[in-house]
Amino acid sequence: MLHGPACLQQLNGMFAIAIWDRQQQKLFLARDRLGKKPLYLYQDGDYFAFGSELKALMPLPFFKRELNPQALQDYFFYQYVPDPKSIFKHARKLKPGYYAEWHQGQFTEHCYWDLSFASASAASEEELSHQLRELLDDAVKIRMVSDVPLGAFLSGGVDSSAVVASMAKQSQQPVTTCAIGFDSKKYDEVQYAKQIAQQFGTDHHEFTVRANVTDSFLRISRYFDEPFADPSFVPTYFVAELARKKVTVALAGDGGDENFAGYSKYLVDQTEHQLRQKLPGLMRSLASPLAQLAAKLPGTPARKANTLLRTMALSPGQGFFLTNAFFSPALWQRLILPAFASELQGYDSATVTTQAYDAADSDDHLSRVLYTDFKTYLPGDILVKVDRMTMANSLEARAPLLDYRMVEFAATVPSRLKLHGREKKYLLKQSQQGILSDDILYRKKMGFSVPLAEWLCHELKPIGDQLLQAREAGFAQFFNRQLVQQLWQQHQAGDHRYTQELWTLLVFEAWWQHYMTQDNTQHSELTAKDNG
């Protein structure tokens, strides 16, 4: 290698690299700064292997399908397995922004890039807004270089709309845009996507997710290799499938929320943090007993009160974890079997969040929270979802808002210009004034949500009945099977308190049946050998 690891500083974009240096007899592995592309490592004694997918490693004769109990717990609380763990004990992921070297039997890992929030810009709001527009245009421009048909995902939200607006400004031809809709108006955004498409004269295409969920859920979920339960993977697959019929490369708006504090959870967490700071120590000490009382009361308001009170007694990092956990800690304690609890040896999934929170080089709470999501949620959930669903359709997705220069710039923007009062993504919206209309900029954020409770009662009910009530269910090795079945029946009867937990269990069981049962394990290995 001519430049050695320094070559990584010259790259901008997504990559997972493996280079064998024949002269030095050294293997060089690297993953892009933000983790857009995956790179799995397997180590067990004298055995070492690497690949871009776990399914590429599973057929190896020395690969052991032993579950990592901590990764399994993490999955249920986060809906994904956070880096650097994998669901298997001897496999892991190379962390984003890292490179690794194998030389003479020694394996070392090194960080070549990290995100710093230490230096807040002193520039005016107007100057920062102008810099942001110029940076976005340049990030879009370099990602429009393509020798194959190119288009964009368009939800009608601020992020994707800003990307499409920039593309339209820099393109000689109408931009091809693709949007996904739902039968339920509560989740449907196609009207906003259509509005942007008309404004910028794009070649627009739409698809509505209906019964396809029933037919496609099992097939789509298997692309992840690990349990992955962010339900938006379903519409992401379909929008990628739609886009691939028209283009080979699609630009997306991913990264805007993490860069500029666009998720509602940031507003909720900021409010809780401010309340935590104002409460005297004595009142905070009473929060935990009050939370236990709230936990005994029925209904969603009592559950929310329980969560709020519990966060008041916790550290900021722990509070951020609890507010955003996808599994009720109280239900978790009721569900897990003693043998599984013993394997966990007191492990707490909150440490994934708190370690990232504590590693941020800023005293500002919002900056710490954003750094945490850049190290956990973004590479573990958002980028995995987009990568797997686009690759499943032979589509390349590019994210201008995750150009590392954009990310580094956003980290210097003061928090008050990200979360401005109750206005999320304030600076990004200011930068798009005069480009996007106010009803696009300031409408309520919907996200790529799905009607999950309805799916579990209708489209996915047959699959749930089959997987969650099976006598040989994989989840029954870890959880109380009768209680899971009871919760499933309660959901069918209209009690939707544990929608997220049931969905996460269903996705896990679908994964288990495909990757961990003997018949499917042998089939996947034979298929891999035939294809190899």
Q: What is the number of alpha carbons within 13 Å of residue 8 lying toward its C-beta?
A: 26
Nearest to residue 49, comparing CAs of 41, 60, 37, 39? Answer: 41
- Has residue 280 got a pLDDT over 70? no
- How large is the average pLDDT for residues 115-120? 97
What confidence tens digit (pLDDT) does each residue in 187-202 have?
A: 567 889 999 999 999 9
Give the CA dihedral 448, 453, 454, 460, nearest 10 degrees. 90
C-alpha distance from residue 112 to each of 5, 7, 20, 29, 362 (Å): 8, 11, 19, 12, 20
Give the three-state DSSP class for 403.
coil
User: Angle formed by the axes of helices 499-515 and 481-492, to 10°?
Assistant: 130
> In terms of DSSP H, where are the helices of 246-382?
256-260, 264-278, 281-295, 300-312, 316-324, 329-335, 338-344, 350-359, 365-375, 377
What confidence tens digit (pLDDT) does each residue in 174-187 have?
A: 999 999 876 666 65
**Residue 480 burial by Cβ neighbours in a 10 Å radius (0-12, 13-18, 19+):** middle
- Has residue 412 got a pLDDT over 70? yes
Q: Which residue has the tokens 């808002």?
A: 401
More confident residue, 482 or 520: 482
What single string gives the DSSP state of each residue in 457-500? HTTTHHHHHHHHT-TT-GGGGTB-HHHHHHHHHHHHTT--TTHH
How many helices and strands, by DSSP H and E, does the chain display? Answer: 26, 12
**Residue 214 burial by Cβ neighbours in a 10 Å radius (0-12, 13-18, 19+):** middle
Predicted local confidence at residue 304, as pLDDT? 64
Q: Which residue has the tokens 């280079």?
A: 19
Q: Residues 172, 438: contact at Cβ < 8 Å?
A: no
Amino acid, single-letter form, for residue 250:
A
- How large is the average pLDDT for residues 305-330? 83
Q: Residues 134, 141: contact at Cβ < 8 Å?
A: no
474 token code pair: 């994989």
Predicted local confidence at residue 186, as pLDDT? 61
Strands (E), 308-459: 396-398
- Report the distance separating Cα 270 and Cα 366, nearest Å: 7
Nearest to residue 27, comparing CAs of 94, 82, 117, 127? Answer: 94
511 token code pair: 């994964």
| Paired residues of 398 in beta bridges | 251
- Place 420 in a pLDDT band, splitting at 50, 70 and 90: very high
Mean pLDDT in the chain?
90
Fold of 125-261+393-441: Rossmann fold (3.40.50)
- Has residue 354 got a pLDDT over 80? yes
Predicted local confidence at residue 2, as pLDDT? 73
More confident residue, 462 or 303: 462
380 token code pair: 């573990």
Predicted local confidence at residue 522, as pLDDT? 47
- Has residue 307 got a pLDDT over 70? no
The three-state DSSP-derived secondary structure of 15-32 is CEEEEEECCCCEEEEEEC
- Report the distance separating Cα 503 and Cα 501, nearest Å: 5
Q: Residues 287, 312: contact at Cβ < 8 Å?
A: yes
Nearest to residue 350, comparing CAs of 100, 27, 94, 70? Answer: 70
- Report the distance separating Cα 467 and Cα 474, nearest Å: 9
- Has residue 91 got a pLDDT over 70? yes
- Report the distance separating Cα 302 and Cα 299, nearest Å: 6
What share of the chain has pLDDT > 70, as a percent? Answer: 88
- Has residue 527 got a pLDDT over 70? no
What confidence tens digit (pLDDT) does each residue in 122-176 have?
A: 999 999 999 999 999 999 999 999 999 999 999 999 999 999 999 999 999 999 9
More confident residue, 305 or 272: 272
Domain residue extents for the chain = 4-111, 125-261+393-441, 264-371, 452-515
Q: Which superfamily does 4-111 belong to?
A: Aminohydrolase, N-terminal nucleophile (Ntn) domain (3.60.20.10)
Give the three-state DSSP class for 43.
strand
